[in-house]
Amino acid sequence: MKKRMMLKRAVHVLILSTAAAVPAVAAQTSGPDGGEMQNRFFQADTNGDGVVSHDEMLTRAQDRFAEWDADGNGFLALEELPREMPGMGKRRMRHHASGEGDGEVKRKPTRMRFMARLDNDGDELLSVDEFTAPMIKRFKRADADGDGAVTQAEFDEAKEAMRRRFRRGRHHQGG
């Protein structure tokens, strides 16, 4: 169960990391993620209207897919995924439920785990549909009013909801 939650979190972070950081925005944001998620929102808002439309989100995801699809065959093989998965810094996990000893180990999600999580048909290749499906699901979850666009407020609420789910999951696991 713990591994599944970590994989979900890793995929979520990767999907949200489909855009590079925007330095000007980083200076305006704070928090435990250093404003990185905030930067992704502004980067995804390609027309600068303050909302991320479904089309903007999907285009960004498809652009990232195309960037990684080195042979241009419309599928991502394991060797085409970056060795250092972007936006997936080291995660700390307690290895003792009681928190005894130093209680922390570092583990970095890998492209193998990313492939395993998204490869729904088991062919060891990711199609653009498999690659974008988790992002679309999270976009729909964030689009609280169902209008096909995620506002800054909806994004912030979705980010907080994700943190609450993550904390609740860690609490129930004794970590």
Q: What is the CATH number of the domain that holds 6?
A: 1.10.238.10
116 is in which domain, residue-wise?
Answer: 2-172
Mean predicted lDDT score pLDDT of the chain: 74
Q: Where are the beta strands (DSSP E) in the chain?
A: 51-53, 75-77, 91-93, 105-107, 125-127, 149-151
Of 158 and 169, the structure prediction assigns the larger pLDDT to: 158
pLDDT band at 171 (very low <50, low <70, confident <90, very high): low
Q: Residues 130-165: pLDDT tens digits?
A: 999 998 998 999 999 999 999 999 999 988 988 888
Split into its structural domains, the chain has a count of 1
Q: Considering the entire predicted model, what is its pTM?
A: 0.64
Report the DSSP beta bridge partners of residue 149. 53
Q: Which residue has the higher pLDDT, 24 or 144?
A: 144
68's CB contacts (< 8 A; 6+ apart) are 76, 80, 81, 82
Q: Is there a contact between 158 and 15 (Cβ–Cβ < 8 Å)?
A: no
Highest mean pLDDT: which range of 23-27, 56-60, 92-96, 98-102: 56-60
Mean pLDDT to the nearest integer, 5-13: 47
